[in-house]
Amino acid sequence: MKVILSVLLFYFALGIDTAFSQAPFYQGKTISVVLGGPPGGSADLRTKAVTSFLRKHIPGNPTIIVQYMQAGGGRQAANHIYGKARPDGLEIGSMGAALVANAILGETGVQYDIDKFIYLGTPDSANHYLFLTSREAKLTDLEKLRSAPNVRIGAQSVGHPIYITGRLFAYVIGIKGATFVTGFSGPEIDLALMRGEIDARVGTAETMIRRSPEWIEKGLVDVHAGIEIPKGRKTPHFTNVPELESLAKSARERRILEMFRAFRLSGQTFFLPPGTPKERIEILREAMRKTLNDPEFAAEYRKLVGDDPTPVMPEALEKAIKELPRESEVIGVFNKLGGSGPLPPR
């Protein structure tokens, strides 16, 4: 009887151990998503749209919370994930395109290596930036733009993505008399353009269609050039707008545009610390793939963010970052485009 009892106890214990070993790692766990931005902003909305579905697709359905680290324009969050977060798959970073741009451009305060992060993907990659002038400015073609003595281009602030994009357009188009007028919000730039307080602005095709459809319907603006991200992705209303790359005069200018596209393609990047175990990387990558392909996610993203998601899967994002232009000459010009000085010489 003692032998039989011992055998039964052995198999009973073995059954319990087997049951526990088969329980998903994430069952009963909490994942912290460390966001490099403030609550309530567009980055927060994109992040929450993803996390609400990511939980559904991770085996074990862990609790997911968002932790905000906005200092340094998000650098605090990236530095934390790189150097302080435990690589156990329970902390995920979420940051906009500045994650990659800050590292490549050598911004101060960067304490991470973008080539060592583990990338999970992004829901937000594609865009079609346009450079446009008000019809009242009478700058109806590229030659008039290039020869005008003072083209006033509106933007939010020095270093803002719209400011940098406006400077990039002015540089490649060859606008010699460009003046950059800052201090606006996005909608205020629209008002200033229609009031004649500025002559030009950069915007996205999607935003113009949604926010100012009358500009197109009534012919209130002239659209001169666009930057397609990814290359070849045009918005239906603007298929005949010249791609800015067709105006580039050198290989260096084309590399600058390639760098710009790669920065924007990274969108709202989700990433893990170096050293995360491979099996947990694959669990989270597969959950992200399922999230970004989930039709219900697309509907929720549209409702929260106001745009359609334009996802990039983990491996494609990792490849794009790895292949980013990193030549010192290209970085030097790009840094000047982000500054307040004169446009760099062509």
- Supply the CATH number for residue 246's domain: 3.40.190.10
The number of domains in the chain is: 2
**Together in a domain, 204 and 333:** yes
**CA distances (Å), origin 28, targets 15, 22, 61, 171:** 21, 14, 8, 54
DSSP string, 314-333: HHHHHHHHHT----HHHHHH
Whether 57 is in a domain gets the answer yes
User: Tens digits of per-residue pLDDT, 167-181?
Assistant: 999 999 999 999 999
Of the pLDDT bands very low, low, confident and very high (cuts 50, 70, 90), residue 85 is very high
Q: Is residue 20 predicted with pLDDT exceeding 50? A: no
Whether 143 is in a domain gets the answer yes
User: Tens digits of per-residue pLDDT, 191-218?
Assistant: 999 999 999 999 989 888 888 999 999 9
**Together in a domain, 55 and 190:** no
* pLDDT attached to residue 1: 56
Whether 3 is in a domain gets the answer no
CA 257 to chain centre: 16
**Together in a domain, 333 and 222:** yes
**Together in a domain, 162 and 255:** yes
**Together in a domain, 82 and 175:** no
**Together in a domain, 282 and 137:** no
Average pLDDT over residues 290-301: 96
Q: Is residue 19 predicted with pLDDT exceeding 50? A: no
User: Tens digits of per-residue pLDDT, 309-330?
Assistant: 999 999 999 999 999 999 999 9
Among 88, 35, 81, CA closest to 284? 88
Q: Is residue 13 predicted with pLDDT exceeding 70? A: no
pLDDT above 90 coverage of the chain, percent: 75
Query: Quick check: helix, strand or coil at residue 159?
Result: coil
Of the pLDDT bands very low, low, confident and very high (cuts 50, 70, 90), residue 152 is very high
* Cβ pair 274, 82 in contact under 8 A: yes
**Together in a domain, 183 and 58:** no
pLDDT above 70 coverage of the chain, percent: 94
Of the pLDDT bands very low, low, confident and very high (cuts 50, 70, 90), residue 97 is confident
Mean pLDDT rounded to a whole number for the chain? 91
Q: Is residue 2 predicted with pLDDT exceeding 80? A: no
Whether 318 is in a domain gets the answer no
Q: Provide φ and ψ at 127, rounded to 5°.
A: -165, 160
d(C-alpha 36, C-alpha 79), whole Å:
10
User: Tens digits of per-residue pLDDT, 217-254?
Assistant: 999 999 999 999 988 888 888 999 999 999 999 999 99
**Together in a domain, 93 and 161:** no
Structure tokens belonging to residue 318: 């990792």
**Together in a domain, 253 and 280:** no
Whether 18 is in a domain gets the answer no
* pLDDT attached to residue 235: 86
**Together in a domain, 32 and 104:** yes
Whether 172 is in a domain gets the answer yes
Of the pLDDT bands very low, low, confident and very high (cuts 50, 70, 90), residue 37 is confident
d(C-alpha 225, C-alpha 78), whole Å:
34
Beta bridge partners of 268: none
pTM, 2 dp: 0.79
Average pLDDT over residues 76-97: 96
Whether 239 is in a domain gets the answer yes
Of the pLDDT bands very low, low, confident and very high (cuts 50, 70, 90), residue 11 is very low
Whether 216 is in a domain gets the answer yes
**Together in a domain, 162 and 257:** yes
* pLDDT attached to residue 7: 46
* pLDDT attached to residue 46: 93
Of the pLDDT bands very low, low, confident and very high (cuts 50, 70, 90), residue 3 is low
Q: Is residue 279 predicted with pLDDT exceeding 90? A: yes
* pLDDT attached to residue 18: 45
CATH number of the domain that 274 lies in?
3.40.190.150
**Host domain of residue 273:** 27-124+266-312
In the chain the beta strands, taken as DSSP E runs, fall at 30-35, 63-68, 91-95, 118-121, 127-134, 151-154, 178-181, 200-204, 221-229, 269-272
**CA distances (Å), origin 263, targets 26, 55, 276, 326:** 32, 28, 25, 12
* pLDDT attached to residue 211: 85
**Together in a domain, 274 and 242:** no
* pLDDT attached to residue 10: 53
